[in-house]
Amino acid sequence: MDFLKDLNQPKVYELKKAFCLFDLDGDGVISEQDLKNTFLTLGVDKSDYDIDKMFDGVVQPLNLDVFLLLILQRANGLAPQDVMLGAFRMWDKANAGYIDKERFIHDITTRGDRFSLDEANEALEDAVVTRGPQLNADGQLLEKLDYMDFVENISGFQKSDHK
């Protein structure tokens, strides 16, 4: 697994844990039955046809190496942390690690490749947000996005120079 040496190791560890969650019988391979049982555990009854379609084009057996390569291929378009941090820093004039959430949402819904307001709110759903001490235009405590934490969660799997 030489391809793993250039990757963000905490994220690779998370993927290994995810693999174990899918490999319900613990044989080192995610089988169609493992996947079907995983869905059942989540309360979703997938047909054999749906499960077969999920395995279309996937190298068999679906062991840990194949699983990691599959996930990494799907995430290939995600930027590494250092690139994403650089993008977010344009909103962080004070270099504090936090940006004005309201301003950020305004900018990504009105400029460039625009998000809808629903898409912007959904994207930030799991982001760490703090309040204050500044007030916004409505006199409410200003919500600030911890973009350092956010970037760590949404960036690709490549190593970063930051940590």
Q: What is d(CA 72, CA 77) in angstroms, rounded to the nearest whole number?
A: 9
Same domain, 45 and 57: yes
Q: What residue type is assigned to position 102 of the chain?
A: E
Say yes or no: 64 and 111 in one domain. no
- Name residue 16's amino acid: K
Distance CA 25, CA 105 (A): 44
Query: What band does 162 get if pLDDT is binned at 50, 70 and 90?
Result: very low
Task: Report if residue 162 sits inside a domain.
Answer: no
Instruction: Report cis status (omega within 30 of 0) of the bond before 10.
Output: no
Which amino acid, one-letter code, is at 124? Answer: L
Task: Give yes or no for residue 1 having a pLDDT over 60.
Answer: no
Q: Does residue 137 register a pLDDT over 50?
A: yes
Q: Is residue 33 domain-shared with residue 93, that is, in the same domain?
A: no
Q: In 3D, which of 92, 72, 69 has the Cα closest to residue 80?
A: 72
Residue 47: CB atoms within 10 Å? 9
| Paired residues of 135 in beta bridges | 141
Alpha carbon 11 to chain centroid distance? 10
- Condensed to tens digits (0 to 9), the pLDDT of residues 29-38 reads 999 999 999 9
Total number of domains constituting the chain: 2
CATH number of residue 137's parent domain: 1.10.238.10
Q: Which of 77, 101, 117 is the last residue of a domain?
A: 77
Share of the chain above pLDDT 90, in %: 40
7 lies in some domain: yes
End-to-end CA distance of the chain: 24
Burial of 128 (0-12, 13-18, 19+ CB in 10 A): middle
- Determine what percent of the chain is predicted with pLDDT higher than 70: 86
**Residue from 41, 72, 67, 68 nearest 54 by CA:** 67
User: For 68-110, how does the pLDDT look when each residue is reduced to its tens digit (9 = 90+)?
Assistant: 888 777 666 666 778 888 889 999 988 888 999 999 999 999 9
Supply the pLDDT for residue 6: 60
Q: Which residue has the higher pLDDT, 1 or 14?
A: 14
Query: Where a domain ends, among 21, 45, 77?
Result: 77
Q: Which of 3-7, 66-70, 117-121 has the lowest mean pLDDT?
A: 3-7
Instruction: Please check whether residues 86 and 142 belong to one and the same domain.
Output: yes
Considering the chain, what is the average pLDDT of its residues? 84
Identify the CA nearest to 61 among candidates 74, 53, 70, 49. 70
Host domain of residue 33: 3-77
Q: What is the arithmetic mean of pLDDT over 39-48?
A: 93
